[in-house]
Structure 1
Amino acid sequence: MNLEQARFNMIEQQIRPWRVNDARVLDILGKVPREEFVPQSWRGMAYADTEVPLNIGPRPSGQVILPPREDARMLQALQIQPHETVLEVGTGSGYGTALVSHCSRLIQSWEIDPELAAFAAANLARTGLDDGLDLHAGDGHEALKATDARWDVIILSGAVVVEPGDFLARLNPGGRLFCFIGEAPVMEARVYTRTAEGIAPLNIFETMAPPLKGFPTVNHFHF
């Protein structure tokens, strides 16, 4: 399989038709070798329009690599700038981390699953995309406990059922937070922006995503 051609086809047949026209985003997607971040058994499907299960150990992780077009829409919506700092919760395979590293000054990324954390670190090192990355194996909430730092962009790479107020409180003025919010069968990919008036949410597409470990998973009323 010609993986470079597959990457080109992904951009032309999946990404552009999904209303992604930001030249910088398209350039980044063309540079990062997605096939280096999927489990070996999925290498031939690395550029397919589908999520890829991240089953790398003896048990299913319950996590996935997003379909390429969703990564693209996320990057386009966040408009990360070269001087900005990013906190990512849910490193996963490291693919999204690699994409974000191309358009930010510094990215700190946390992965609660130790096997996935090791998988991501190995992928990023093997591809030479680990320079300047601050990778951690652990619960992303530890980033909030360890420092009172704020970030320009925060990415929660799994689904949450309630507004992540503790992370929103750590956004710089003008900062943006991306997450998937809701419960099956419908979730929203949402960007929150910190403005002078407060926090402004914007839904950018409907989707389904696995729950982010370490966050509440049920939002039901009890009487």
Structure 2
Amino acid sequence: MSDFTARRVMMVDTQVRPSDVTKFPIIDAMLDVARENFVPRDRREAAYMDGNIPLGAGRTVLEPRSFAKMLDALDLQNDELVLDIGSGLGYSAAVMAHIAQAIVACEADESMSAESEVALNDAGIDNVIAHVGALDAGVPEHGPYDVIAIQGGVELVPDAILEQLKEGGRIAALFMEGALGEVRVGHKIGGRMNWRLAFNASAPILPGFAKERAFAL
């Protein structure tokens, strides 16, 4: 067992399982995906630590606990199409690719998207489509989606994103207020969004997902 493999097992045993994440497909995927290959090279030693991993430019890889709980709340099925917004270096897409049928990984940073494609390819993961484009635009050409997962903080979710969710579909977003945030899961029922609180977490707000600030003198 390599050092990273041992750390991966420890991450699951000390961060994921104690957070009441018990669904076997999530545990299995997080044990299988080599997280160290989906973080910046100078952060590999921190790949399995408890906490968000900075990607630069205010972006992060969500901490294992928060990401696992998000997946648990979304309850992905193996026949579903998922839109992964802010996929960064591809870790979230790699894990979800083990559970769902196909993932569309939306990333605004061209170099990060290219790096994620290499890492996914090296891992033998072939059911992820990498898309470079504005995060708040989503990827309508491959939609509508059964599930949408947003990998970072939001103050609001643009209508353009919600329109890409199928009727009956689910979306998870981390709504930030100041330094505190809560992950909410939204269900689209009768064309309207019904949100419920899942758990507390924290992450920087993604570009395009902040509220317009009113200008005051």
With structure 2 as the length reference, what TM-score do the two structures score? 0.90
2:127 counterpart of 1:132: yes
Give the match for residue 74 of structure 2: 78
The aligned residue for residue 107 of structure 2 is 111
1:9 aligns with 10
Are positions 1:200 and 2:200 aligned together? Answer: no
Q: What is the letter of the counterpart of residue 195 of structure 1? A: I
Q: Deviation of residue 166 (structure 1)?
A: 2.6
* 1:201–1:209 Cα change, 3 Å: same
**Secondary structure at the counterpart of residue 151 of structure 2:** strand
How far apart, CA to CA, are the structure 1 residues paired with 2:43 and 2:215? 42
Q: Which moved more, 1:168-177 or 1:5-14?
A: 168-177
Structure 1 unaligned blocks of 5 or more: 55-59
- Whether the 8 Å contact between 2:83 and 2:148 is mirrored in structure 1 is yes
> Residue by residue, what CA displacement relative to the aligned partner does 1:56-90 show, whole Å, maximum 9, x if unpaired?
xxxx3221111111111011111111111111111
Say if 2:155 is the partner of 1:154: no
Name the structure 2 match of 1:218: 211
Q: 1:186 aligns with which of 177, 180, 193?
A: 180
| Amino acid in structure 2 at the alignment position of 1:26 | I
Show structure 1 runs of 4+ deviating over 6 A.
Answer: none
Partner of 2:40 in structure 1? 39
Residue 102 of structure 1: aligned partner = 98
Q: Show the counterpart of 1:168.
A: 162
Aligned to 1:62: 58
| 2:121 aligned partner, one-letter code | A
Separation in 2, partners of 1:137, 1:221: 30
Alpha-carbon offset, residue 220 of structure 1: 4.7
The range that moved more, 26-35 or 117-126, is 117-126
Aligned residue-pair number: 214
1:199 offset after TM fit, Å?
2.1
Q: Residues of 2 paired with 1:193 and 1:222: CA distance?
A: 33
Cα pair distance change 1:115/1:205, threshold 3 Å: same
Q: Distance in 1 between matches of 2:215 and 2:166?
A: 35
Q: Which has the higher contact order (CA 8 A, sep 6+)?
A: 2
The CA RMSD over aligned residues, in Å, is 2.0
1:139 is displaced (CA, Å) by 1.4
